[in-house]
Structure 1
Amino acid sequence: MLNWFRERYLDLLGSIYIYNEHRGYTAIDRVLEAVRARAPDDCALIAAIERHRADERKHYVMFRRWFELRGTMPLMVDRTCGHIDRFVEIMFKTSIDDLDTKAIIADDAMFEKLCRVISLTERRGFVQVEILLKHPLVRRDRALVKIFEVVHRDEPSHWAPYEGWLKANGKRDYRWWERGIDRFIHSELLFLKLPVLFLTPNLPRRTDWADAGEAVQRPQRIPLAQAA
């Protein structure tokens, strides 16, 4: 029973993370489109966001490899388990897929809001990974620990370009209610959605990989033993 509990927990944890990593780099494509249109000469900002996108993609590939080595597919989770999905839905009253990129390009206030949403999401991710790296169930899976060590190392550079843009353009810092939304989304996942998914019998698994239909070439696999 204890082994089942541990495997179920790790299975669900990996499934949520691989969803969020895929959602992360595909959502950043929309951000890059906006930044390149708004500030085509800001090469430093564009390069920093491109590195963020590359890291999210790298993390997705590592989690995919983790599942492949386990000989199984991720459990079927959707946008209700996506931190950035929920944050965008609350702040912009629409899904990421329906977010109007042209409107964000044209409206300085909307782009400012998007930068704060991304930055808070990345900071939340950093804190959560620090917790998971100390979690006894996670510590027993050395391959998963190595993945989280890479994520932990990469994470601080992910919020830097967005906070840098806010500061450089004289924009305000986070308000208490924005931090409150971030905490609410995290608590909703941790105390409501995760237990429900954990106890749902016969939770289906994906039948294909999230990146299966993408036109881009998959990066070379990163051996988990060398990930750290």
Structure 2
Amino acid sequence: MNSWYRRRYLDLLGSIYIYNEHRGYTAIDRILDAVRMRWPEDAALIARIEKHRADERKHYMMFRRWFERRGVRPLAVDRTCGHIDRFVGIMFRSKIDDLDPQQIIGRDDLFERMCRVISLTEKRGHRQVEILLRHPIVRADTTLTKIFRIIEQDEPSHWAPYDDWLREHGGRQASWWERAIDHLIHSELLFLKLPLLFLRPGLARVRTWPDEGDTHRRSQDAVSLVASA
């Protein structure tokens, strides 16, 4: 029973993380394209967002290799388990894929809102990783522990460019109600959705890896895949 519980917990944990990492870097791709068009001269901002994107892709690939070594694919969780999906849906009343990046980047008030959403999501992720690194089931898996250590080190540079942009352009930082929404989304996943998924016996695994359908695949991704083979 303990062995089954441990496998199920890690399966769900890895599946939720790989989903969120994939949604993260594919969403940043669209924002990054828009930032390059509006502020092509702001090389520092572009470089910092590019690093954020590259880290999210790196994290995704680490989880993918973790699953591949175990000989299984992730469980088929959907956007109801995606923190950024839920946050964007509430704050913009739209799915991520339906947002127009040009509209977001073209209006300072909308871009400020997006910066706050991304910043809060990244800070929430950092706090959650710190908790997971103390979890006995996670600590028993040395590879997964190493993955979370890397994420823990990377995360602070992820919210920094968005917080800095808000300060430099006179935008406000996150309000109490935006923080409350972030907390609500996290609590909903932790105390409602995760237990329901845990007890759902017929939860299938994905047939294809999420990145197989990427439309913004970068050439360096292909190079890194060959190098890691």
TM-score (norm 2): 0.95
**What one-letter code is carried by the residue in structure 1 that aligns with 2:195?**
P
1:191 corresponds to which residue? Answer: 191
2:132 corresponds to which residue? Answer: 132
Instruction: Indicate if the aligned counterparts of 1:22 and 1:60 stay in contact, CA closer than 8 A.
Output: yes
Matched, 1:162 2:166: no
Name the Cα RMSD after superposition.
Answer: 1.2
2:180 corresponds to which residue? Answer: 180
1:148 corresponds to which residue? Answer: 148
1:33 corresponds to which residue? Answer: 33
Q: Deviations over 1:44-87 (max 9, x none)?
A: 00000000000000000000000000000000001110000000
For 1:198 and 1:42, how far apart are their aligned partners in 2? 45
TM-superposed CA distance for 1:30, in Å, is 1.4
For 1:219 and 1:187, how far apart are their aligned partners in 2? 39
Indicate the structure with greater helix content. 2
For 1:168 and 1:131, how far apart are their aligned partners in 2? 32
For 1:219 and 1:55, how far apart are their aligned partners in 2? 15
Unmatched segments (≥5 aa) in structure 2: none
Matched, 1:220 2:224: yes
1:67 corresponds to which residue? Answer: 67
For 1:219 and 1:5, how far apart are their aligned partners in 2? 37
For 1:140 and 1:173, how far apart are their aligned partners in 2? 38
Q: Deviations over 1:81-134 (max 9, x none)?
A: 000000000000000000121211221100000000000000000000000000
For 2:34 and 2:27, how far apart are their aligned partners in 1? 11
Which deviates more, 184-193 or 37-46?
A: 37-46
**What one-letter code is carried by the residue in structure 1 that aligns with 2:63?**
F
For 2:189 and 2:222, how far apart are their aligned partners in 1? 30
Identity value in percent = 66
**Aligned residues between the structures:** 223
For 2:222 and 2:150, how far apart are their aligned partners in 1? 19
Task: For residue 218 of structure 1, give the secondary structure of its aligned residue in structure 2.
Answer: helix
For 2:182 and 2:92, how far apart are their aligned partners in 1? 14
TM-superposed CA distance for 1:37, in Å, is 2.1
Instruction: Indicate if the aligned counterparts of 1:58 and 1:219 stay in contact, CA closer than 8 A.
Output: no
Task: For residue 77 of structure 2, give the secondary structure of its aligned residue in structure 1.
Answer: coil
Instruction: Indicate if the aligned counterparts of 1:37 and 1:105 stay in contact, CA closer than 8 A.
Output: no
**What one-letter code is carried by the residue in structure 1 that aligns with 2:224?**
Q
Matched, 1:51 2:51: yes
TM-score (norm 1): 0.95
Structure 1 runs of 4+ off > 2 angstroms? 213-223
Q: Deviations over 1:128-148 (max 9, x none)?
A: 000000001100000000000
Matched, 1:210 2:210: yes
